[in-house]
Structure 1
Amino acid sequence: MTAPLDVSGQELQAAPEAVLDGAQGKAIEGRSLGQIAWTRLKRDKVALTGAGVVIFLILVAIFAPLIVSWFGHPPNDFNQDLISSETLAPKDGTGISADHLFGVEPVNGRDIFSRVVYGARISLLIAFLATLLSVAIGTLLGVMAGYFGGWVDSVISKAMDVFLAFPLLVFAIALAGVVPDSAFGLSGDALRVSLLIFIIGFFNWPYIGRIMRGQTLSLREREFIDAARSLGARGPYIIFREMLPNLVAPILIYATLLIPTNILFEAALSFLGVGVRPPTATWGGMLSDAVRFYTIPHFMFFPGMAIFITVLAFNLFGDGLRDALDPRAR
């Protein structure tokens, strides 16, 4: 093999400095799976935008009292001076001003901006905790069904089929409607929020349970699981130390896609009047109140847009996270 030639036909020689620079160059560093996934996610500007909106909404929910003290009024304060006594609508049509950024509600004149901000606390709290409950139950039972198989798989799979066939919305309406104002040591908003978290979270676990069962059926035949068995590892060790770390990616992906579903479900229950009860602000409850005033569009527009933007942001972020963690699924 001959050395490369220049345009005059003579052999090219590398400069000593270049040889030394190459020899002393920095060694190539490996990247972890998390770093590779983050690199992919950074390229997806849509997913990053969704993640930014999600973080913003979480901060709004956490600092709702501070935000309302700066830009709004207490969410349950009436402003009757802004309401026409004849039409029961805001005197100028919407009531939008520097003091009321989103206007005021008909009849009572409550500040819509403050109620939308406080509504984010209820929706996100219920959605996050219900998702956490669903993911915990579904992951545990799905992994057990997939790993142990046999009668354990049969019992858990049949339970999944029963829960999936259960009329969840009808049950939620019936249960939320019959529970008294005080039960289980709780009362008021704490009782209603806990009840919604239980209904939404406990009855939605079969969806992620099926996904985890399928993933576990694939993982249990892998070489590292056989190696753990050959070294004497028992079932609990293999499940929690070998399998669950390899299931983090699908768990995160499904959780980010389940949160917006739970937000919509909570809004639907509040819209039907069986969610968190008035005067506590919820997005679904505001939409329910706005139905009677369809000629005043701003009353429905702002809580509706809050639900739309929140669900869209979580879906965009969830799709981008799925592509980053599992590029083969694209």
Structure 2
Amino acid sequence: MSTPLEIDPSATAQPEAVLAGPGRIEGRSLGQIAWGRLKRDKVALAGGLFVVLLVLCAVLAPLIVGVLGHPPDEFHQELVDADLQTPIGPFGGASWDFLFGVEPINGRDIFSRVLYGSQISLLIAFLATVLSVVIGTTLGVVAGFFGGVVDSLISRAMDIFLAFPLLVFALALVGVIPDEAFGLSGDSLRIAVIVFIIGFFNWPYIGRIVRGQTLSLREREFVDAARSLGARNGYILRKELLPNLVAPILVYSTLLIPSNVLFEAALSYLGVGVQPPRATWGGMLSDAAKWYQTDPWFMLPPGLAIFVTVLAFNLFGDGLRDALDPRSR
């Protein structure tokens, strides 16, 4: 007959010790869970790091150019062949002093102009995205929450804006901008007009997404609970719906920025964006198109800048979408 198992009462853990012990399981917020998923996506993380690096380069362009380059509008005609009007040497005359070479005819530093061009592209893309997000989120939430006639009017307005020939309108409007208006002039006026055109006419895209999410959220239990406690519509919109719309708004914003970068580059390429001598990626591509047979290198730096920027934003946006909504995979 076996001996009964004896348990030492002092070895048993008290409930208070279990609750306060090191093995306690701590909850994680939705933000911490999303960050954990995003860290596991190395491609998206690399895209996000490149986006941060690009923004820093744009902000610190004067300092970087002062160390590694030359003023973007400074001519170096001694580096250009007098007969062919092309840079002397391979790869556009690239060297330690001119990392990306120089432009034909005038010999301006391509590296410096690419850095300064990033300021224009990112500034317009970010401001236009903010304008689109503010308008689209506001109207999308109102349409989805109130429904009825309000929803019908806003939805028909979305259809009209989506059918609008945006590029043609931008070419027509930007091409007839006066020298001074609304207290602005020169490049500041053109940047403001381009931001308005891109941002104001692109809001229906995010507006439709927000409206659809709002239609789903307004039927959820927490909204009914807020109504039963006497909450007004304004409180429900601010405290219950908008916090739950942050994820889709954030994801779509990261995917809208590269589209705006491409749109600004297209306007500059067509000659109706920010005017020379101000450096822009689209303007540099337009100048390079005239020399692609004799100096094809000139087209490579601004083209790669646009390509890598758009790719980085898209990769980061896709990874952010998967991190915030794993069911979308």
Pairwise TM-score range, normalised by the shorter structure: over 0.9
CA distance in 1 between counterparts of 2:284 and 2:7 reads 75
TM alignment of 1:136-155, pairs within 5 A: 136-155=134-153
C-alpha RMSD of the superposition: 1.9
Q: Which residue number corresponds to residue 79 of structure 1? A: 76
SS of alignment partner, residue 107 of structure 1? coil
CA distance in 1 between counterparts of 2:201 and 2:13 reads 66
CA distance in 1 between counterparts of 2:98 and 2:40 reads 39
CA distance in 1 between counterparts of 2:40 and 2:12 reads 35
How far off is 1:13 after superposition? 8.9
CA distance in 2 between counterparts of 1:98 and 1:213 reads 53
* 1:72-114 CA-partner distances (Å, limit 9, x unpaired): 0000111111111110001224111111000000011000000
Cα distance change of structure 1 residues 91 and 12 upon mapping to structure 2, 3 Å threshold? farther
**Matched residue pairs, number?**
322
How far off is 1:14 after superposition? 9.0
How far off is 1:25 after superposition? 3.5
* 1:257-311 CA-partner distances (Å, limit 9, x unpaired): 0000000000011000010000000000000000000021221000000001100
Match of 1:46 among 35, 43, 48: 43
Cα distance change of structure 1 residues 30 and 88 upon mapping to structure 2, 3 Å threshold? same
Percent identical among aligned pairs is 70
SS of alignment partner, residue 277 of structure 1? coil
Match of 1:213 among 202, 211, 214: 211
1:303 corresponds to 2:302 = yes
TM alignment of 1:3-18, pairs within 5 A: none
TM alignment of 1:1-330, pairs within 5 A: 23=18, 24-93=21-90, 94-295=92-293, 296-330=295-329
Q: TM-score, normalised by structure 2?
A: 0.94
SS of alignment partner, residue 100 of structure 1? coil
How far off is 1:184 after superposition? 1.2
Cα distance change of structure 1 residues 68 and 238 upon mapping to structure 2, 3 Å threshold? same
**Higher deviation after alignment, 210-219 or 176-185:** 176-185
Q: Which amino acid aligns with 2:70?
A: H
How far off is 1:26 after superposition? 3.1
CA distance in 2 between counterparts of 1:144 and 1:18 reads 61
**Higher deviation after alignment, 195-204 or 25-34:** 25-34
SS of alignment partner, residue 164 of structure 2? coil
SS of alignment partner, residue 293 of structure 1? coil
* 1:145-188 CA-partner distances (Å, limit 9, x unpaired): 00001110011001000000000000000000011121111011
Q: Which amino acid aligns with 2:313?
A: F
CA distance in 2 between counterparts of 1:189 and 1:179 reads 11
CA distance in 2 between counterparts of 1:16 and 1:182 reads 88
SS of alignment partner, residue 203 of structure 1? helix
Segments of 5+ residues of structure 1 without an aligned counterpart are: 1-8
